[in-house]
Structure 1
Amino acid sequence: MLATIDTARFRAFLAVAECGSFTAAAVALNITQPAVSQHVAKLEREVGATLLERSARRVALTPAGEVLLRHARRLLTGLDDARRELAAVARSDAGGLRVAVFPSAAATFVPAVIARLLAAFPKVNVAMSELDPPAAVPRVLGGDAELAVVYSYPLVSGPPDPRLVCEQIGVDRMAVAVPADSVLAARPEIELADLAVHTWIAPGASACRDALAEACRRAGFAPDVAAETNDYQAMLRMVGAGVGVAVVPRLVASMAPAGSVVLRPLARSRLERVASVAYRAQAALTPAMQLMNTLLAEAAQETAGPLTSAARSPNLHDRQCVQRHAEQTQ
């Protein structure tokens, strides 16, 4: 029955309020602008109030629109939760599953997980988005994704977000990437302090960069960054070309160019990345979601070398889930 409830008018109103125009809302919803206008007009007739003030330059919420906006998001999220809970009760093997995944996981162990999930639930429509935690977490909290595969750096993470449950699936201990012809390549392991005199290829502004900067600060130096990129494959290729050294998650070891880059364990440092599966605390898990969580944990355990499996804790909150995101989602 809930599947037949028409939420299009609320979704159109919400999109216009968030995007600031009917045109942008139409693009976001992948429908025509007249359709957006019709949905909003019908909603205004139903509630008996003008919700939006239209002008040539912008669209603004009326007082009535402000009131409805506060309730519309909760309404849509509640309906989505109800649909999933009913599906779980019915043990449904159909429907949609939207998953946000951080890039290096999307490039390594997640594809096999999705394939195994579809083999078990061939009627489930899986939609994967490649997103880092700052973009993935708001998607989950806003009801636009059921699950997110996220990471955090305990060295710089903030407090947990009670709106989320994060099941830890692995600890990705960092490695040092150096040119194969470097003197450092002969060492069995490398300390951060040994890299103080080298130039670096480092991530751009991100939790990864913050964690690296903090680890280097504790080692007594600031890295001399020659190039910035958040693409680990590009980072490793620059290391292979002799541009500098880098610290990378072991998960990306398979991306290292053979013969030109050597990865060595990072010694005597607390720099590590924790991988987790995140979902909203009040969400009911469908059978497909439950299986996805299980498969992701197994994939972390089965990944040779890069990830050290961690005991799963259903109520463990990944601290990255709130860091720098609370302002975006409240």
Structure 2
Amino acid sequence: MTLDDLRVFVAVCRAGSLSAVARELDCTQSAVSQRVKRLEREAGMSLLERQPRGVVPTHAGHVLLDAASNSIDGLDQAMHRLVDLANGDCGSVRVTTGGTTVRHFMSDAIVTFRRRYPKVSLEFRTETSSRNCFDALTSGNLDLAWVTIRGGAPPRTSAGGTPSIEQRPVVDLPWVLAIRADDPLAARARIGTADLSGISLIRLPRNSTSGAHLDTALAELGVRSSSDTSVADWDTALLLAELGLGHAVVPVMPGWRVPGQGTGRAPGDGALRLVPIPDLPPLSVGWAVRRWDALSPLARAFADIVARSCGGEAWATP
């Protein structure tokens, strides 16, 4: 039994004629009959009943017809979708991100992608940390995860020991101290490690990847700071700093204006100052995927557009 045998059988049942199908397929009626007989031999019973004006399926033929029709129609639809995906005409791109990623890293890219691929569905699943994004990527039906890159760490592996996650950095984010404009440190051109000692910082939870990165960097520089406030994301840390409730060491998001680091918009509309901390190693962020070479053309195109919009390096897109 082959897929072509089933296609011919379904066509014969729908046309009610062997000869009509033979003409449609540009073959002999005998060739069509041989395909039907091959199915009957495997089924062990007759599938077609001859009548004066053609053929109709037997009871067994109806059973096979119903099953084969659904399967063939579904397969044909799937093949059409695959062609559409290859051509970029439709389909979906599924992304898992942290709570503020879309606004800070993807807003312009989403507009560009939507204009280029208007029929493609963009689906976002929000997670509270890069660790959760990794877990969602490995266990869910997702294409891409925007994460804090785990510098120096080996690729995450599956239970069988084979690599299950590939990470590709897109952009390195320098660190700044976010403080109110009327704070004595706001007039500084830069913040040194000595300035951070003894400061009470607004921090991310210690189990977050970026929070752990910052803790490690501060420890390696010998900085001892305290914290009596913990937040779930950097935007909340900025808000609390703007309200004068503490100082926040945060990574510079794309488009922010930082003295000596290009142009952009300063968060807080002038109420907040971002002072560079050049001694801290930058925070690397980018894409994580299960297998880069297995990504659909649409998912790869979206990843590239985001990378370009962040000023990072894009990868070859089919």
Q: Report TM bin, short chain.
A: 0.5 to 0.7
Contact 2:305/2:314 (8 A) holds in 1: no
**1:249-300 C-alpha deviation (Å, 9 max, x unpaired):** 1007457312321001112222x21121222127633221121021011111
Normalised to the residue count of structure 1, the TM-score between the two structures is 0.60
Normalised to the residue count of structure 2, the TM-score between the two structures is 0.63
CA distance in 1: counterparts of 2:84 and 2:154, whole angstroms: 31
- Moved runs in structure 1, 4+ residues, more than 3 A? 82-90, 252-255, 311-314
| Matched residue, 1:172 | 173
| Matched residue, 2:132 | 135
Structure 2 residue 116 is matched with structure 1 residue 106: no
| Matched residue, 2:68 | none
Contact 1:192/1:267 (8 A) holds in 2: no
CA distance in 2: counterparts of 1:151 and 1:244, whole angstroms: 24
The secondary structure found in structure 1 opposite 2:87 is coil
Identity level (%): 23
Higher relative contact order (CA 8 A, sep 6+): 1
Distance 1:189 1:86, change over 3 A: same
Within-5 A mapping of 1:1-330: 86-87=82-83, 90-131=86-127, 132-152=129-149, 154=151, 158-161=153-156, 162-205=163-206, 206-251=208-253, 253=256, 256-270=267-281, 272-281=282-291, 284-301=294-311, 309=312, 311=313
CA distance in 2: counterparts of 1:94 and 1:297, whole angstroms: 22
The secondary structure found in structure 2 opposite 1:216 is helix
CA distance in 1: counterparts of 2:170 and 2:210, whole angstroms: 19
Counterpart residue identity of residue 119, structure 1: R
Distance 1:186 1:89, change over 3 A: closer
Deviation of 1:115 after TM superposition, in Å, equals 2.1
CA distance in 1: counterparts of 2:81 and 2:130, whole angstroms: 25
Counterpart residue identity of residue 238, structure 1: L
Distance 1:89 1:99, change over 3 A: closer
Distance 1:226 1:103, change over 3 A: same
Deviation of 1:98 after TM superposition, in Å, equals 0.8
Counterpart residue identity of residue 140, structure 1: L
Deviation of 1:202 after TM superposition, in Å, equals 0.8
Contact 1:200/1:226 (8 A) holds in 2: yes
Deviation of 1:163 after TM superposition, in Å, equals 1.9
Contact 2:242/2:268 (8 A) holds in 1: yes
The secondary structure found in structure 2 opposite 1:259 is coil
Distance 1:88 1:241, change over 3 A: same
Q: Structure 2: which 5+ residue stretches go unaligned? A: 1-77, 157-162, 257-264
CA distance in 2: counterparts of 1:297 and 1:163, whole angstroms: 22
| Matched residue, 1:44 | none
Distance 1:91 1:262, change over 3 A: same
| Matched residue, 2:33 | none
Contact 2:164/2:290 (8 A) holds in 1: yes
Contact 1:85/1:284 (8 A) holds in 2: no
Contact 2:171/2:285 (8 A) holds in 1: yes
How many residue pairs end up in the alignment? 223
